[in-house]
Structure 1
């Protein structure tokens, strides 16, 4: 049964509630961007220029939000984006969101640096979740990890390509973010101010990167985590390294983190099935383009050759409709779902899905647009719209 809390009818209200219930060091990691956070603001602001035009005198249609992707019919054109350290922001968040997505017939994308193991999420989602992979520097780790992914039954592999460097994130630097969190006085005081988070964390256990634990040196100090990630887990990504992954993966392959049409051309040449047009939520390049800046050009050039998914700045059902109107075949949301866990706990996934579904259904009904695939017909030309 769906859960919906009318106290939180939109992402801003979820964010405000989550900020009260999540320790500041974890909340900053979730909502922050890099450098001056210009990119985060630009992602959201780009949607202000996308206008849809109703066809009010047309017959009233029956709204069907479902779409087909990779041979699977999903109940709506959105899913849960991979977010690292989810269990740090709200205990058991990966399990909460994976279960809600499975029940709602939507995809959940598990991050390599999640607090839940890939085997656990595969079991919860009964093989319907997608797996997000960073390209390991160590070939043996890559081979072992891909073997585990296959054995667990994941059908869709999402390779993140937009982290050639660690993002320079002032909030995280100031907070000394670590996994598990550092037990300094400042962080302890923040935890004490969030009793629900602290109690749930006590019950769930200290969050750790469960999928990566087999590859971590025993008793590795938290101060070495960044070096481990850089030297072992997040290897360089280029055409040749991606070809190794493509050759060893039989299912749909998605490249996440592209905004440049030339990169999408390379993805097509590689034989990727889809790309996620994304700037990592404004967390990697503060002065970069938003996916909305380039999606129409990419759609025109390559829309018949590859599926176009989109994230970064998508915060509502209305934003999903706008992205689809601009040319996306599907969308992913990250922060909204984790805010929902922080705001309403174990019902967070259900609430966010119900909220987004209600929002999008209202927009489609107002437009008199029966299906998401017809949304481009309702796009109003104007500044920023080809």
Structure 2
């Protein structure tokens, strides 16, 4: 699917009232961390801990942030720069900014109905939205809400020669999904202590403890009354009719698990006719192998620090990945984005775009349905200001900005 066949919808023109509301929100919540603090106060504790926490004691989340903060960008002056545009192209399609919404596991636990709100906001802003397979809406519904910007993420469903996984690919193709994302960095599920301490059980169930916790958050309860308890809607047609939530979770545990093998990635490459993206690449050798077998793009990510604490930070691994694949693949940076400056840092270090997940959940917790659109504005405005301050006329100019990146891994650091 390319621009000539299906152009992306233009960004909506704001009315005077909408512009006033946007400005008021920007004054009240000018950063992602302002939204985080607002969300902490408005959400049930278990919902905040689920969306905000990571593996272990959040060590890799903190390291992702610190590594991004350490990247310095040297500006170039001497020409007149008007407020520059932030539009870009990914896989031949135009987007309003090199910013996207990353796949998020079980976002409905953090904020009921999250997927629909995220899809609508991404469509309105014309940035990519990656729907996760373990979601609260079907891919077909997401395609109705975000027809011009929808990407789709899959985990490994290998039983019966990938019967479910390949049928999900078929459905995504029919729905008009623009890019298929295969996640490879979750071979096993690790423990997230903040979730455990908050009382979350797997499968998710509103225990008495969680119900009492939820009573402190009228906004979350109202969202739950509208969207219902999060269920695995995308997979419902593969399960027995009227299956309970517990049995549905058991079904998924039987069907889904492990990381895609290279042979399986090749199988999905054969079945999927659009751009194929591999999510979770941190080693240059894996990047080279993926590109050699026809993968079009790579998510350079350590899963946002939510799987294991010992991984390299995503920004530190990024330059070596870019050096390994050159211009043969589109690189999506993910893990730790908190600002438009972070987006600029990622692109200057080798990415084509930067996606965020956690902060979009913060935005929902803080402002409900208005949150994702507001955060997109925060990131986009900050990115344009950063481009202008650096002397960049557009996003592509970031590739020519001199960087100082003290934590960057070199190709030889990875060995063979």
Output the TM-score relative to the length of structure 1. Answer: 0.94
**Residue 74 of structure 1 corresponds to which residue in structure 2?**
95
Match of 2:259 among 196, 211, 236: 236
Partner of 1:24: 45
1:100 paired residue number: 121
**Partners of 1:310 and 1:331 within 8 A in 2:** yes
Aligned to 2:211: 188
Q: Is the 8 A contact 1:180 1:206 kept in 2?
A: no
> SS where residue 212 of structure 1 aligns?
helix
Moved over 6 A (4+): none
Runs of 5+ unmatched residues, structure 2: 1-13, 411-416
Q: Specify which of 374, 387, 403 is matched with residue 380 of structure 1.
A: 403
RMSD: 1.9
Match of 2:143 among 104, 122, 140: 122
1:349 aligns with 2:372: yes
Which moved further from structure 2: 61-70 or 41-50? 61-70
When residues 356 and 382 of structure 1 are mapped into structure 2, their CA distance, relative to the original with a 3 A threshold, is: closer
Q: Distance in 2 between matches of 1:31 and 1:11?
A: 13
Q: How many residue pairs get matched?
A: 386
Structure 1 match to 2:153: 132
User: Is 1:56 equivalent to 2:77 in the alignment?
Assistant: yes
Larger deviation, residues 143-152 vs 263-272: 143-152
Q: For 2:204 and 2:218, how far apart are their aligned partners in 1? A: 16
Query: Which of residues 240, 243, 251 is equivalent to 2:274?
Result: 251
Query: Is 1:133–1:158's contact at 8 Å kept on the other side of the alignment?
Result: yes
Could you tell me how far 1:184 is from its partner in structure 2?
Answer: 2.2
Q: Does 1:291 find its partner at 2:314? A: yes
Q: TM-score, normalised by structure 2?
A: 0.88
- Name 1:86's counterpart in structure 2: 107
Aligned twin of 1:276: 299
Once the 2 structures are TM-superposed, how far is the Cα of residue 20 of structure 1 from its aligned partner? 1.7
Contact 1:180 1:207 in 2 (8 A): no
Question: Conserved in 1, the CA contact under 8 Å of 2:75 and 2:391?
Answer: yes
Q: Is residue 114–residue 209 contact of structure 1 (8 Å, CA) maintained in 2?
A: yes
Separation in structure 2 between the aligned mates of residue 234 and residue 192 of structure 1, nearest angstrom: 34
Tell me, yes or no, if structure 1 residue 305 matches structure 2 residue 298: no
Separation in 1, partners of 2:73, 2:333: 18
Mapping 1:144-223, distance limit 5 Å: 144-178=167-201, 181-217=204-240, 222=245
Q: Distance in 1 between matches of 2:89 and 2:222?
A: 41
Structure 2 SS opposite 1:132: strand
* Structure 1 residues 126-150: Cα deviation after superposition (integer angstroms, max 9, x where no partner): 2530001112122221232222112
**Residue matched to 1:315:** 338
Q: Which moved more, 1:78-87 or 1:181-190?
A: 181-190
Q: Which runs of 5+ in 1 are unaligned?
A: none
Other-structure match for 2:8:
none
How big is each residue's C-alpha offset from its partner over 1:168-193, in whole Å with a ceiling of 9 and x where there is no partner? 21122334535774232210111000
